[in-house]
Amino acid sequence: MNTIQLYGHIGNVEYQTGNYDTGWLKISVGENRRVKRGDSWEDETQWHRCVLSGARADSLKDKLTKGCGVVVFGEVIYREKDEKRYTNIRIRDLQVTKWAEDKKESKKSSEGGFDFDDDVPF
């Protein structure tokens, strides 16, 4: 059985419509790992190309944005094109662990509920 589970954050999101109005949601999922280089530890990000199709892709196309935390369950698909080998993850299930925060909302919470970008009446 070919299964994979990834936990990471979304980078790029692209939605395409195929034949018969079938939607394809292509997302890149980055996952970090710690790597020792010399005497120090550094974060290294590995990116995975993931594809979701059908009604679930249609319902998530406007909701998934850069920075969302996700867990992806799927299968690894290998394809060859122009003598190059590509690896994709066909998503069977996707769970959102953290919605990307709107910058204005995060600013409000970090500043005690005040948004200093709004016009001040004096």
Q: What are the structural domains of the chain?
A: 4-109 (2.40.50.140)
Q: Structure pTM?
A: 0.73
Percentage above 70 pLDDT, the chain: 83
**For residue range 51-90, what is the model confidence (pLDDT) as tens digits?**
999 889 999 999 999 999 999 999 999 989 898 988 999 9
| CA torsion through residues 80, 81, 83, 88, sign | negative
Q: Are 44 and 30 in contact (CB under 8 A)?
A: no
- List helix spans (H) across the chain: 55-60, 103-110
Q: Is 56 exposed, middle or buried (0-12, 13-18, 19+ CB in 10 A)?
A: middle
Residue 9: pLDDT band with limits 50, 70, 90: very high
Local structure of 86: helix, strand or coil: strand
pLDDT for 110 beyond 70: no
Q: What does the pLDDT read at residue 112?
A: 42
